[in-house]
Amino acid sequence: MKRLFWIAIGAAVTVVVIRKGAALSERYLPAGARDAAGTLGRVTTAARTVKTEFLAGLAEREAELRHDLIGDVDVEALRSERARDRADALRAGRATRAGRGWADGATEDPEDDGDDGVPYSFF
């Protein structure tokens, strides 16, 4: 109940401030400035409309392209299946590597035949 009260108070204060601001702007601003402010408001509204229309068209075209690419497949189901497959593969990889540590690997060079007496030769 307190929130509703404060919302009502805020709405009332907003209406009073807007009306007083409009009265002050009519009293102290020249007519051209008021017209410019009105024009600016119309341009801002037009820009918002263009943005909204553009984003709606973009979403519609994306949906068309997705439908043409994959058909009527449930994308969210594919994503969850892919995540599950990745998790299974990761678990399998960990299980395979769990038995081997870094010290369990070969410590000798398999291609070192040791005949030349020089441990590492680049000739």
115 DSSP 8-state letter:
-
**Does 105 have pLDDT greater than 90?**
no
What pTM was computed for the model? 0.38
Report helix, strand or coil for 121.
Answer: coil
Percent with pLDDT over 90 in the chain: 28
Q: How does residue 35 score in pLDDT terms, banded at 50, 70 and 90? A: confident
Please enumerate in sequence order all residues whose Cβ is within 8 A of that of 112, keeping only pairs 6 or more positions apart, or say none: 119
